[in-house]
């Protein structure tokens, strides 16, 4: 997949590390209840930032605010390293699962073509479009799935297809909302390795909501511990080994804080 102005050179190169997403005073209130309160974050391209916290902490609401779905106070800006200008970030999003009728006669090619090119499924696929879709699938380890029905995909296959959709057009920020929660251990490991490879080769900031603390210790560059407010943020070692984490997750047994060398 060629570069389209955001630094994506599939399989080579690395993120510049200077593009930066920043939130200042981000707050969300619903029916008089403060869901998020004064959230201040900085996420640089090429980094994987994991957002952790208890149920009801506002993690998904944070993503909704970044996506513009939830009305919020404060600001969200993206600084482009090329010209230093602040602008609205282009965002890719992967939900927990693909919510579609499993009996619908829709293939992966149909879904991706409709999403990417706005073409109805009954219009024949051009050679260039077909190649574009196949290369997108290959980039996320989903090669060979183009002609499979959506309903026949396994959970891991469906999540990789959603990831391929989220990466075009190439985003400045990739949001992953517990994308591997329904997968078995092998599927989770494969998905995390794919994401780890992508953030190393794409000029993109990645934020991932997860309860998998072992994954956090192995793959995250930064961790945000959220409970309506940001309680801690920093390296996996400092956050998972900190007092606030132990207070929120007293029964958790933090994994050995060894980073993956892969």
For 77-124, write each residue's pLDDT tens digit: 887 766 666 677 789 999 988 777 777 888 999 888 888 777 666 677
What are the C-alpha distances in Å from 211 to residues 71, 161, 181? 26, 22, 8
Nearest in space to 168 (alpha carbons), one of 122, 98, 114: 114
Band of residue 20 on the pLDDT scale cut at 50, 70, 90? confident
Q: How confident is the model at residue 157 (pLDDT cuts 50, 70, 90)?
A: very high
Lowest mean pLDDT among 8-12, 84-88, 180-184, 249-253: 8-12
pLDDT at 5: 31
Average pLDDT over residues 205-229: 95
CATH 3.20.20.150 fits 20-98+171-248, yes or no: no
Task: Kindly report the average pLDDT of the chain as a whole number.
Answer: 84
What is the percentage of the chain residues whose pLDDT exceeds 70?
Answer: 85
Which residues touch 11 (CB under 8 Å, ≥6 apart)? 201
Give the pLDDT score at 261: 37
Q: Quick check: bond before 169 cis, omega within 30?
A: yes
Residues with Cβ within 8 Å of residue 212, at least 6 apart in sequence? 180, 188
How distant is the alpha carbon of residue 19 from its chain centre? Answer: 16
Task: Output the pLDDT for position 260.
Answer: 41
Given a contact cutoff of 8 angstroms between Cβ atoms, the answer to whether 63 and 32 are in contact is: no
Contact status, residue 21 vs residue 42, Cβ threshold 8 Å:
yes
User: Average of pLDDT values for 194-198?
Assistant: 90
Q: Is the pLDDT of residue 15 over 60?
A: no
- Outline which parts of the chain fall under CATH 3.40.50.300: 20-98+171-248
């Amino acid at each position: 997949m060629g570069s389209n102005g955001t630094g994506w050179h599939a399989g080579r190169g690395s993120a510049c590390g200077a593009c930066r997403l920043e939130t200042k005073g981000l707050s969300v209130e619903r029916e008089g209840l403060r869901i998020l309160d004064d959230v201040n974050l900085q996420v640089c391209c090429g980094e994987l930032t994991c957002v952790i916290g208890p149920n009801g902490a506002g993690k998904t609401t944070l993503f909704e605010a970044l996506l513009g779905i939830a009305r919020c106070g404060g600001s969200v800006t993206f600084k482009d390293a090329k010209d230093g200008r602040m602008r609205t970030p282009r965002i890719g999003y992967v939900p927990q699962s693909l919510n579609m009728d499993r009996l619908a006669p829709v293939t992966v090619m149909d879904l991706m073509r409709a999403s990417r090119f706005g073409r109805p499924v009954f219009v024949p696929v051009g050679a260039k479009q077909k190649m574009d879709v196949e290369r997108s699938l290959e980039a996320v380890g989903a090669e060979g799935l183009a002609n499979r029905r959506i309903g026949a995909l396994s959970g891991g296959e469906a999540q990789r297809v959603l990831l391929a959709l989220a990466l075009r057009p190439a985003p400045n920020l990739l949001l992953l909302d517990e994308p591997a929660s329904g997968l078995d251990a092998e599927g989770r490991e494969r998905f995390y390795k794919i994401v780890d490879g992508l953030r190393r080769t794409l000029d993109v900031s990645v934020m991932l909501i997860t309860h998998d603390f072992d994954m956090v210790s192995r793959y995250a560059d930064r961790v945000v511990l959220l409970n309506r407010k940001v309680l801690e943020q920093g390296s996996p070692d400092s956050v998972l080994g900190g007092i606030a984490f132990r207070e929120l997750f007293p029964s958790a047994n933090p994994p050995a804080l060894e980073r993956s060398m892969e």
